[in-house]
Amino acid sequence: MDYYKKYNLKEVINASGKMSILGVSKYSENVIKAQKFGGQQFFEMEDLVQKTGQYIAKLVDAEDSTIVSSASAGIAQSVAAIIGKGSHYHLYHPYTDRVTQREIILPKGHNVDYGTPIETMIELGGGKVVEAGYANMCSSQHIASMITPETAAILYVKSHHTVQKSMLSIKEALQVAHEHQLPLILDAAAEEDLVTYISKGIDLVIYSGAKAFEGTSSGIVFGKTELIEWVRLQSKGIGRAMKIGKENILGLATAIEDYIEQDNESAEQMKKRLAPLVEELNSIKGITCSVAQDKAGRTIFRAKLMVNDEAPLNASQLVEELKTGNPAIYTREYEMNNGIIEFDIRAVTKDEMLKIGTRVKEIVALYEKEGKIHE
Q: How far apart are CA 121 and CA 164, in angstroms?
A: 22
Terminal alpha carbon distance of the chain: 43
Q: Is the peptide bond preceding residue 107 cis, with omega within 30 degrees of 0?
A: no
Q: Does domain 43-261 have CATH number 3.40.50.1100?
A: no
∠ CA 197-104-153, rounded to 5°: 50
* Size of the chain, expressed as the number of residues it contains: 375
HSE toward the beta carbon, residue 288, CA cutoff 13 A: 8
pLDDT at 375: 47
pLDDT at 295: 80
Amino acid (one-letter) located at 250: L
Q: For the chain, list residues with pLDDT below 70.
A: 371-375
**Residues in Cβ contact with 297 at an 8 Å cutoff, skipping those fewer than 6 apart:** none
Nearest to 245 by CA among 279, 204, 216, 225: 216
Q: How far apart are CA 128 and CA 108, in angstroms?
A: 14
Q: Does domain 3-17+265-370 have CATH number 3.90.1150.180?
A: yes
Contacts by residues 57-63 (CB-CB < 8 Å, ≥ 24 positions apart): 57/222, 59/256, 59/257, 59/260, 60/194, 60/195, 60/198, 60/222, 60/260, 61/195, 61/198, 61/199, 62/198, 62/222, 62/223, 63/223, 63/224, 63/225, 63/228
pLDDT at 373: 52
pLDDT at 326: 87
pLDDT at 24: 83
- Asked if 331 and 322 count as a contact pair (C-beta separation under 8 A), the reply is yes
**In the chain, what are the domain boundaries?**
3-17+265-370, 43-261
pLDDT at 318: 94
